């Protein structure tokens, strides 16, 4: 189980590094052509503070999510062994894929200007947590 937690922490930190790059770019695009609701938010909170919030919360947040994902992988590897879809545990990979797609869908609908970035980030999430984490935990 500790192998899964360590692999999850590494995967989470890797995802945080990606978030620190993609998050401010998405925020800049939203600030450049703001929607009415974002314009109200932008009037209250300057974009530089939003960017600093992304940077400050990305590393601890993704590390915690990664550790939880690693522990869930370890449990699923013990309870439902079996590889598939290029992963060492099919059940875990399908669950991660379904979860992240369902979490990204509302953002893709609400943030129409950033659909490509959201799709790219979701794809990276699937690769990092669905395939890299099981590979590292072995």
Q: Is 84 helix (H, G, I), strand (E, B) or coil?
A: strand
The confidence score (pLDDT) of residue 85 equals: 67
Task: Return the closest-CA partner of residue 103 out of 95, 91, 113, 93.
Answer: 95
Q: What is the 3-state secondary structure (H, E, C) of 59-97?
A: HHHHHHHHHHHHHHHHHHHHHCCECECCECEHHHHHHHH
- pLDDT digit of tens for each residue in the chain (138 aa)? 888 899 999 999 999 999 999 889 888 888 888 888 888 988 899 889 999 999 999 999 999 999 999 999 889 888 887 777 677 788 888 999 999 999 999 988 888 878 888 899 899 999 999 888 888 888
Residue 11: which of 106, 117, 100, 104 has the closest Cα?
A: 100
Give the burial string for 101-120 (b: 16+ CB within 10 Å, else e).
eeebeeebeebeebeebbee
Whole-number pLDDT of residue 92: 87
Q: pLDDT by residue (tens digit) across 17-51?
A: 999 998 898 888 888 888 888 889 888 998 899 99
Task: Give the pLDDT of residue 113.
Answer: 79
Angle between helices 36-44 and 2-32 (to 10 degrees): 100
pLDDT at 34: 84
Q: How far apart are CA 7 and CA 129, in angstroms?
A: 10
Task: State the distance between the two ends of the chain, measured CA to CA, in whole angstroms.
Answer: 11
């Amino acid at each position: 189980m500790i192998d899964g937690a360590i692999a999850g922490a590494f995967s989470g930190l890797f995802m945080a590094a990606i978030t620190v790059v993609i998050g401010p770019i998405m925020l800049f695009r939203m600030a450049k052509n703001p929607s009415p609701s974002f314009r109200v938010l932008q009037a209250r909170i300057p974009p530089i503070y939003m960017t600093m919030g992304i940077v400050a919360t990305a590393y601890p947040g993704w590390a915690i999510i990664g550790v939880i994902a690693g522990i869930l992988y370890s449990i699923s590897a013990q309870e439902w062994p079996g590889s598939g879809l290029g992963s060492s545990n099919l059940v875990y990979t399908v669950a991660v894929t379904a979860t992240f797609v369902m979490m990204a869908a509302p953002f893709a609908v609400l943030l129409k200007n950033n659909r490509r970035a959201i799709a790219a980030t979701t794809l990276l999430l699937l690769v990092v947590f669905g395939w890299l984490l099981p590979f590292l935990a072995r």
